[in-house]
Structures are given as C-alpha cells and as structure tokens.
C-alpha cells in the first residue's frame, strides 16, 4: 500500500497533523514506537495553553503560540477534550519585576493576545486566587491562558483521525528510511511502509529520524522537567501561576490540571540520556520549594505522584518546521514549550507546506470533525446514571474507587479507535489508577477487563507495553518449578 503521507511519531504534534490531514482525501498513516500514543513528552508536560506573550518576537513560536491558543476553542468544541480557559497569573514578588510584566503586557497586546492586564491591588489578586502567597505585589493576568489534558486531547485527535481513515500503528519503531523515486520506504520493527510524503514528528528522536535520511542540520537535546502532583481533596486553584521568568527558565509553576488536581513543576535540567525520565531527590525538592514560593500551603502530604518529562530542545532554539531539501520530507522538530499551545497552528503550517509540495487537498465528503465526548459517570445526573445502568449493567460496576470509574468507561476506552491496550493506556484514557491509591485497588480489575476484552491471558497484561509485565507467574508456579528442577538433580 502506498500512503500519501506517513507521519512518524504519535505525540501531540503528530496526532494534530494526522487529524488535520484526515479531512482530505488522502491515505495517511502514523507510526509510533511505543505501545501507545501520547506517552512521551506529550504525557509529561504542564498542560498549559499559553496566552502567547512569553516568547521573544524573533521566534516563529511566538506567532504560532498566539495563533494556536485561539484555535483551541474550536478544537475543544469539536473534539470534546478537557480544556478550560481559566487564565494565568505571572506573579511578581518584588517591585523590580513589575516593569518586566508591564513590558510583556504591552507587547502581548500589540501582538494580539487578548485581555492582558496588570493587577497591582493585592486584595483583588488574592480574591481571584486565595491560595496565592500574600507576598504578591503584582500579577500579569492573561485570561486567554488555559489548561488542557494533553494526553486526553491527543487521544481525541487520534480517535477523530482514525474515525476519518488515518491508520495508526503502535509498537512500530522506525529503524530505517530509504528515499528513492519520490517514494519513502520506512522500515519499522514490524514491517515496511511506503509513502510519497513523510512528516517527522518524532519528538526527542526527531534528529535521529532526520539523520536516517542524511539530513544532519539540527540536534535535539533532552531537558528534564520534574513534577509533583497533588490530590485534589486538599486545595484547588483558580489560575495557572507562573513566577516571573528568569533568563534561564520559565520557573516552577503551580497549576491546576484539567481534572482539578494541582501540580508543581517543572524544573529544568539539561541531560544527555534521551530516555532518562527518572525523577531525582534534588529535583523534587527544587520543585516543592519553587512551588511553595507561589503557594505556601502546598499540601505536601497530599502528594500522589511525581514524574519527569523531557522537553525536546532543538539546537536552533526555535521550532524547526521545514520543508527539507528532500522533496516530500517535512521536519517538525524541537517542539518544546509552547508546543502544546501551538500544535493546531503548526498543523496549519504543515498543510501549507504540503500544498507547496503539490499534495492534492480535497475535503472528503464524509469528513466528520466531531469526536463524540466519551460518556463519563462524572458528567451524569443521578437519573441519567440510573437509566444507563438499567441499559448496561457495566455502568453500575465501579472499578476505580478513588475516581469513581465504572467498568463501562474502561470497556469504552479499550474499544474506542486507537484504544487502550495496557494498564497505563486505561489510566490515561479514563483515569483508574490516577487517584489517591494509584491503582492499589483497581489494578487487578483493570487487568481482568483488558484480558477479557482483548482476549489476552491475564498474566500477559502489561503496564505500558513490552517488558513491563505486572505479574511473573501463578502463585504456586515458582515453588513447583523449583521442586521439579530440584528433583532432576
């Protein structure tokens, strides 16, 4: 099969492009190296949709961010992912910082960022965000900033793309690419794919993929950011809270998630190992200390998880979105912050490039931009839930007690297009294991459902793909094996 377009990488960038392309009469596929999409940088970032005043004017990412922010409203409406425009504060704790905030405000307004305002009245600020430190002097309020669940958005994009004909291949790590006669032959660990155009959205691996085609004009360096996530029962925040950035870093923010938990992070640490998503003692300490500067009553004992994400920092500093010297090969690389905000604008740009390459962009007659909202118990009234259980008893069997997730939501997450195949896949699609107990109660039940629905033996269910098995054998098997082996001696 000859694809019109092959996308490498199932993160938010690749999936946004796949979804943008699914509207046209094209054969598109997406190759992802991991067992699921959205498991790299997409999974472990702040989930902030930035207003767009932050980057310097010489960078394309400033424009893409401002444009991208605006495109979220429609995308969220069509794709039904959790997105809230709650607004952000950049928090000045010293009077010397006010000047900087004022400069950001002025330039932001000039460039089309809506509603930016400098607030100097402490009482007014604290009324808007009571958990903010009372040492605050001023804030830059950006009402257009928002929060999104980045992985749920990516699942929604992939689902909608798949509904409209894009083929997704997970567990397909690309190991070789050949280009001959205007055809790319992409070799993966599980077979070959041929396509006329190739879009590299491989995130941290983007330079590696580009080099497979001999294009060695940039590098990607991993920069680690660590986070601590807190249970929602302790405190809630109304705003995304940023410190005033320094030259080196945007600083550690404290922010609600789309599900009303809050997190502190990220720090910024340049590392060399592209796979090192480990958290460190020093890093977590830095995150907590940084967070407490903004929110002094950060509930340390309600911390439920820590994690680290790697930003794909390009050697060029700015986003790399290029129609390369190889005809039909587009690099979309170095998409670090504000990449999540910019993704829809990046996809627009990629479409422009494809047009330049002469790709026929005819809208399909049966294109459906709507990805239906997943049915959630949490969204139902008591009467609706009761009716739902009468129709399908799986709505009445609660699997995750912390987040009140019924079996039906888990089954849906498995059978949806590009659905879950692992425990983490379930966790990130419909939240069992996300809560306080972190899967303590529900993991065996989630495994049972995965095993039944996917017709896989219970023991083979994994956390997140190959080599991440949860169980090693049946309870008596080790002893029985030893007895057999001992007897043979």
- Which residues of the chain form contacts with other proteins (CB under 8 A)? 228-229, 233, 275, 277-281, 283-284, 301, 303-307, 382-383, 385-387, 389-390, 393-398, 401-402, 404, 406-407, 436-441, 443-444, 458-459, 462-483
- Distance between CA atoms of residues 289 and 233, nearest Å: 21
**Could you tell me the smallest distance in angstroms from the CB atom of residue 188 to other proteins?**
19
Containing 160, the helix (H) or strand (E) segment is helix 150-163
CB of 461 to other proteins, least distance (A): 10
Q: CB-based burial of residue 432 (10 Å sphere; 0-12 exposed, 13-18 middle, 19+ buried)?
A: buried
Nearest to 276 by CA among 252, 306, 305, 309: 309
Quick one: 144 or 277, whose CB is closer to other proteins?
277
**Between residues 14 and 283, which has the closer beta carbon with respect to other proteins?**
283
In the complex, what is the shortest distance from the CB of residue 376 to other proteins, in angstroms, rounded to a whole number? 13
**Residues facing residue 148 across a β-bridge:** 83
Q: Running DSSP on this structure, what letter comes out for residue 280? A: -
Q: Is the dihedral of CA 360, 363, 366, 372 positive or negative?
A: positive
Which CB sits closer to other proteins, 120 or 478? 478
For residue 167, count CB atoms less than 10 angstroms from its CB and return exposed for 0-12, middle for 13-18, buried for 19 or more: middle
Whether 172 sits among the annotated catalytic residues: the reply is: no
By C-beta, is 110 or 466 nearer to other proteins?
A: 466
Q: How far is the CB of 131 from other proteins (least distance, A)?
A: 18
CB of 159 to other proteins, least distance (A): 25
Give the span between the Cα atoms of 235 and 229, in whole angstroms. Answer: 12
Q: Which of 50, 172, 259, 455 is catalytic?
A: 50
Name residue, tokens 């069992």: 432
3-state secondary structure (DSSP) of residue 348: helix
Q: How far is the CB of 405 from other proteins (least distance, A)?
A: 10
The whole-angstrom separation of Cα 212 and Cα 481 is: 46
In angstroms, the Cα distances linking 340 to 67, 223, 264 are 12, 16, 18
> CB of residue 201 vs other proteins: minimum separation in angstroms?
22
**Can you tell me the distance from the alpha carbon of 17 to that of 439, in angstroms, rounded to the nearest whole number?**
33
Q: Which is nearer to other proteins, 190 or 474 (CB)?
A: 474
Under a CB-based contact definition with an 8 Å cutoff, are residues 199 and 352 in contact? Answer: no
Which of 325/482 has CB closer to other proteins? 482
Question: Given the complex with other proteins, which of 289 and 466 has the nearer CB atom?
Answer: 466
Strand partners of residue 331: 200, 322
CB of 257 to other proteins, least distance (A): 14
Angle, CA of 31, 32 and 34, to the nearest 5°: 155
Alpha helices in 392-470 (DSSP H): 407-415, 423-430, 443-454
Phi/psi at 222 (nearest 5 deg)? -80, 135
3-state class (DSSP) for residue 19: helix
C-beta closer to other proteins: residue 128 or 385: 385
Sign of the alpha-carbon dihedral angle for 409, 415, 419, 423: positive
Catalytic residues: 50
């Amino acid at each position: 099969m000859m694809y019109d377009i092959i996308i490498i990488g199932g993160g938010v960038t690749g999936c946004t492009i796949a979804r943008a392309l699914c509207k046209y009469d094209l054969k598109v596929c997406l190759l992802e190296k991991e067992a699921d999409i959205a498991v790299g940088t997409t999974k472990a970032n702040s989930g902030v949709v930035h207003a767009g005043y932050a980057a310097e004017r010489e960078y394309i990412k400033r424009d893409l961010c401002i444009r991208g922010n605006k495109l979220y409203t429609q995308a969220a409406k069509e794709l039904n992912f959790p997105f809230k425009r709650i607004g952000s504060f950049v928090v000045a704790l010293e009077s010397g910082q006010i000047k900087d905030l004022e400069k950001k405000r002025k330039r932001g307004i000039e460039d089309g960022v809506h509603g930016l305002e400098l607030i100097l009245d402490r009482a007014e600020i604290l009324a808007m965000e009571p958990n903010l430190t009372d040492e605050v002097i001023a804030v830059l309020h950006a009402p257009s900033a928002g929060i999104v669940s980045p992985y749920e958005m990516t699942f929604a994009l992939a689902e909608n793309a798949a509904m409209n004909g894009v083929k997704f291949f997970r567990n397909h790590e690309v190991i070789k690419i050949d280009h001959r006669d205007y055809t790319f032959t992409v070799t993966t660990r599980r077979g070959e794919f041929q396509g006329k155009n190739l879009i590299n959205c491989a995130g941290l691996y983007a330079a590696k993929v580009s080099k497979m085609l001999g294009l060695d004009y940039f590098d990607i360096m991993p920069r680690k950011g660590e986070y601590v996530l807190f249970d929602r029962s302790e405190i809630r925040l109304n705003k995304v809270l940023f410190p005033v950035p320094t030259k080196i870093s945007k600083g550690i923010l404290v922010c609600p998630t789309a599900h009303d938990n809050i997190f502190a992070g990220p720090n910024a640490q340049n590392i060399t190992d592209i796979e090192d998503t480990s958290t460190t003692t020093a890093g977590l300490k830095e995150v907590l200390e940084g967070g407490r500067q903004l929110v002094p009553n950060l509930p340390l004992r309600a911390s439920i998880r820590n994690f680290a994400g790697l930003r794909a920092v390009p050697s060029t500093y700015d986003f790399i979105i290029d129609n390369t010297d190889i005809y039909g090969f587009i690099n979309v690389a170095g998409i670090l912050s504000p990449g999540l905000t910019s993704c829809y604008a990046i996809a627009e740009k990629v479409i422009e490039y494809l047009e330049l390459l002469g790709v026929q962009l005819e809208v399909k007659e049966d294109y459906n931009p709507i990805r239906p909202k997943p049915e959630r118990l949490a969204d139902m009234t008591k009467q609706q839930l009761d009716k739902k259980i009468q129709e399908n008893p799986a709505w009445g069997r609660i699997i995750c007690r912390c987040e009140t997730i019924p079996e039906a939501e888990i089954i849906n997450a498995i059978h949806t297009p590009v659905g879950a195949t692992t425990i983490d896949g379930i966790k990130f699609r419909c939240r069992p294991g996300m809560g306080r107990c972190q899967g303590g109660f529900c993991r065996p039940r989630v495994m049972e459902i995965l095993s039944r629905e996917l017709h896989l033996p219970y023991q083979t269910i994994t956390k997140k793909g190959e080599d991440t098995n949860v169980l090693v054998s049946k309870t008596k098997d080790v002893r029985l094996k030893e007895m057999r082996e001992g007897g043979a001696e």
